[in-house]
Chains A and B, each alone.
Chain A
Amino acid sequence: DTGVSQDPRHKITKRGQNVTFRCDPISEHNRLYWYRQTLGQGPEFLTYFQNEAQLEKSRLLSDRFSAERPKGSFSTLEIQRTEQGDSAMYLCASSLKTGTGMEKLFFGSGTQLSVL
């Protein structure tokens, strides 16, 4: 399968615990995005990388959230001291940026986080 892969698909945790999600993008894609989606809403942008550089972070990304893409391939999103409000679907997307203008974004199936 050459699509965007996310792991785990589901995560249940207790409030206050730390969680980490992994995303493996389409192999030749240089850009990787993280979005968050709550029930009945569209995906909301969190952050994105071009290769290993994190180029933009949303104000939604509090200091409890950290994302990395150490070798410009897979990425991890960590949430520290989880809160019930963090419960959501966390979506990863990747794209191939080759010039000016926006490129096509391809999404993974997401990680559904439930904080009890």
Chain B
Amino acid sequence: GENVEQHPSTLSVQEGDSAVIKCTYSDSASNYFPWYKQELGKGPQLIIDIRSNVGEKKDQRIAVTLNKTAKHFSLHITETQPEDSAVYFCALHNTDKLIFGTGTRLQVFP
């Protein structure tokens, strides 16, 4: 079945620095790519998504880029803050459901 590879598994940055998380996939039919943030003891929260007809989408300090030819998409967080610390999951659409990556634990140090 479809697989999503997510890197890195952990990421530590200083407050104010940028963080980048990358995911790669194999199914060229995928056309929807959301990113979720999960805090301890909570369910995943949708933070941004992108559809295959655009290459980039931005929402304040968060942006997502998509390269359909290379089959990878990335989450960019600028000016990181301690409250950005969480586990981030990429996902993609596969026949009416989402397939998730293995997650990236982001730690932002003050």
B-binding residues in A (CB < 8 A): 4, 33, 40-45, 48, 55-56, 91, 93, 101-102, 104-110
Contacts and interface: CB of A to CB of B under 8 A. Distances in A.
Given A42-B101, A42-B102, A101-B51, A107 B44 contact: yes
B42 interface: yes
A107 B97 contact: no
B32 interface: yes
A53 B21 CA distance: 37
Interface of B: 4, 6, 31-32, 34, 36, 41-46, 49, 51, 89, 91, 93, 95-103
B93 A102 contact: yes
Contacts of A105: 34, 46, 98
Return the 5 tightest CB-CB contacts between A and B, nearest first: A42-B100, A102-B93, A107-B43, A102-B32, A109-B43
